Amino acid sequence: MSQTATGDGAPDAGSTGRYPRGSGYLLGFTVGVLLGIGVFLWVQQAAVAVILAVAVGTALGVAIEQAIDTRPLTEWERTLVWMALLAGITVLVAVLVYLVLVA
């Protein structure tokens, strides 16, 4: 465990931790793509596979990156998280409304 000059055990501000920055995003994206390929091979619908790959890859990448990066979010990062959450909820509601109106 790295320590600061004060010896309090907190990681330095410039420290990337055990893993390089972006490792969580890359792992989440990889899992999303593999899941999308698997779903495409299973149901033979590209639209479903792409939507699933993007949704799962993005959410999983952010979750993994935050789990391995213990530093607090900056104001800009917090804003991006809220914007992504709002966009995801909006798309979910739009898809549900579409399904209710078409079905």
Q: Give the model's pLDDT for residue 16.
A: 54
> How do the domains of the chain map onto residue ranges?
19-71, 72-103
Do 49 and 36 touch, CB atoms closer than 8 A? Answer: yes
Count CB-CB contacts under 10 A for residue 21. Answer: 11
> Considering the chain, what percentage of its residues have pLDDT values greater than 70?
83
pLDDT tens string 6-29: 444 544 444 456 777 778 888 888
